[in-house]
Amino acid sequence: MRTKMRLLGFRGAAVKPLNEEAAAELGAELLGEALVFGVGGLCLYLEYLRQAGQSRRREEHLEQTLSDLRQGLEQLQRDLEELRAQGHAQGGAGHAQGGAGHAQGGAGH
């Protein structure tokens, strides 16, 4: 009864002793309430852990996806540079041949 009074905010209130039956009933009620609150608190804590785990896995998945996209972009940039280099090499030779062809064509007229 003292515990219940303290929980309700009554400090130092004089409590007359209860008979055994009333004390047992009050103790059982207090124990039941503590059990319900404990189970509720445990459920909330486990749900928090579950949500935190899902959030962490989602973040890891997004980071992995972003990393894969960056690697793909870098590979595409390397491929593009390689193709440009090949294009310049082929285009330069083609211009030299074309220039000689124009010179020959001009002499033929």
Check whether 6 has a pLDDT greater than 70: yes
Which pairs count as long-range contacts for 83-89, CB under 8 Å and 24+ apart, including other chains? none
User: How far apart are alpha carbons 29 and 21 in whole angstroms?
Assistant: 12
More confident residue, 50 or 102: 50
pLDDT of residue 101: 47
Encode pLDDT of 43-74 as tens digits. Answer: 999 999 999 999 999 999 999 999 999 999 99
Burial class of 5 by CB neighbour count within 10 A (0 to 12, 13 to 18, 19+): middle
Encode pLDDT of 10-38 as tens digits. Answer: 776 666 777 888 888 888 998 999 999 99
